[in-house]
Structure 1
């Protein structure tokens, strides 16, 4: 099987989409029918552009979501008030850069409520709309495979912190119970389920800065345990899991090493592993996968990020092919899919990469995969 292409999930939203999402976010009056029509049309256009760029496994771009994690506050009960904002440790080390980042690019102003009550589903109407929009767009534009993102219990606990359950473990268990049906619904719709788990890396330098690496790994293991509980009964071959150190331009000098979290990451009951390999802080860590290849189960498919999502450089296809070739040499082409480091629209209305350049990067990724495949055949 040749190397195929995908990405991490979120893509730039149009201003019309952003305006409607923020009207709902702020509790302002908005036309619900217009909202639904706009999201359906925007999803279709997002899928069209992915197919045009050469993406094989497409997503809805997280079109209707305010962000990849905090959308749960709109779909589940138990959230209210406001959670503290935790600045990543690396930005605290460089306060002048942190101030410039806020001044020049602004900061997302979406709500981050606390957990203040029992977490329960409000129903899956919004999820079903997203699924229907994506599947209709795939049919319309000839995309054979698609995936849908969902927040992991751990990342929810990172951004929407606990002020109700007696312990972190109890909160994680409640989140896992609540999210399990969402996970099953996505898989039963014929889509891949992608679980976003920056809590397994980002939270080390964002929330757990007072712990040692070993102490943090014990916390991360509880996150994996909760997630695997929520995945019970779901075929791992239909599940993707994404780990990252934060989708922001910054020094990242406090990032925990991939080598340290490697075993924990592999314990998630998901066959498809998405991880960063393009940004300058983690580009060297492809060697971890090479040096620990004997530890990678044969059912794991590697989806390295071969394009960065925090700069407007468009990677040359030769660079993409070089990055992919490293992983093909480790596990074989049939177990490698080209991906992006993170999403291009992690928060609605905010993104370092110009929307047109984001799709140019996806196109370069597809060209690089084609080069890799052509060379394998020759």
Structure 2
């Protein structure tokens, strides 16, 4: 649209309690009434799409209601993964402050999930969950009168970060196998009429997580490979049908080891997706607009800055939301900015720092801030 600032978000929304009980039990391999699980997911998606429409979100999602986690759900769709025990990389900023790390652990604020490990050849073999997700989102959109939606899928790099490799001879071969399998999901999401959002924290969070032993320069060499592999998987997806989400980790913490946006901006801009969702609200990345302003941004790129923080229960004032939006319209123009959130409100099922009622209040502030920015720009 060229007459106002549109709104969207990063994808995940808080799952309702009845769904959480079923989806967590299913992920653990416990006996679950599959018909009840399917009906609960369908009902939750319809509710979430309706609430997004009522709240004033223009580009909606299914809230990732069916997924246990944004990158770990793939083990239910692809071969080659087994649940096992493998060392997990922790963020460098938590390692640097052990007292805070212990406080998080005691409070239960750290993520707990089953650890999928690659121990065999990867193939996309179970199409039913994806096809069900696509059909459910379309049905919910029709019921709510919504025209535009996106669906999330992980990047090859973040998939490799969460699922360690014990089968392929090296990381690049592993990334290629993941990319080939993810291409199936990418293509089908777009063919179903939705925009594809690729979640790619590997280009931000990966620096102080999986690659924390490297220097910034060494990490950027690896990040070039991650972008190349992603672009290969997206080769049949039109750029204007794809979004990429850059993230440094959706957790409240020091974030003192986050790589500067100035260092990764050119790489992110070389990724195929036309729309870039980036952190712009939390205290560590609220200044990132200056880094983007210094980058050479192609004319076909659209920015969806996160003008709402997803780790705190403070509800941003619409006036502040508008200020954040205007910083980005100053960089790329009013027609190339969509107001979004820093990250999701339910990155993993049952985990998130913002309580559901305030997540929706924050989205209403997002809507109101976009309206204020629109008044100033048109």
Shared fold (TM-score, shorter chain, > 0.5): yes
Alpha-carbon contact 1:83-1:159 (below 8 Å) kept: no
In 1, Cα distance between equivalents of 2:213 and 2:363: 38
Task: Give the drift of 1:86.
Answer: 1.2
Determine the structure 2 residue equivalent to 1:43. Answer: 45
Determine the structure 2 residue equivalent to 1:107. Answer: 110
Alpha-carbon contact 1:25-1:110 (below 8 Å) kept: no
SS at match of 2:266: helix
Please list, as runs of the form range in 1=range in 2, the aligned pairs for 1:1-378 lying within 5 A after superposition: 1=2, 2-80=4-82, 81-292=84-295, 295-377=296-378
SS at match of 2:307: strand
Task: Give the drift of 1:103.
Answer: 1.3
Task: Give the drift of 1:144.
Answer: 1.3
Alpha-carbon contact 2:92-2:209 (below 8 Å) kept: yes
In 2, Cα distance between equivalents of 1:18 and 1:268: 34
In 2, Cα distance between equivalents of 1:342 and 1:234: 23
Number of paired residues? 375
Alpha-carbon contact 1:183-1:231 (below 8 Å) kept: yes
Q: TM-score, normalised by structure 2?
A: 0.98
In 2, Cα distance between equivalents of 1:343 and 1:268: 21
- In structure 2, stretches of 5+ residues that fail to align are none
Task: Give the drift of 1:121.
Answer: 1.1
Task: Give the drift of 1:129.
Answer: 0.8
In 2, Cα distance between equivalents of 1:92 and 1:367: 39
Task: Give the drift of 1:158.
Answer: 0.4
In 2, Cα distance between equivalents of 1:316 and 1:238: 31
In 1, Cα distance between equivalents of 2:367 and 2:323: 13
Task: Give the drift of 1:106.
Answer: 4.0
Alpha-carbon contact 2:94-2:100 (below 8 Å) kept: yes
- In structure 1, stretches of 5+ residues that fail to align are none
In 2, Cα distance between equivalents of 1:346 and 1:329: 31
In 1, Cα distance between equivalents of 2:315 and 2:108: 20
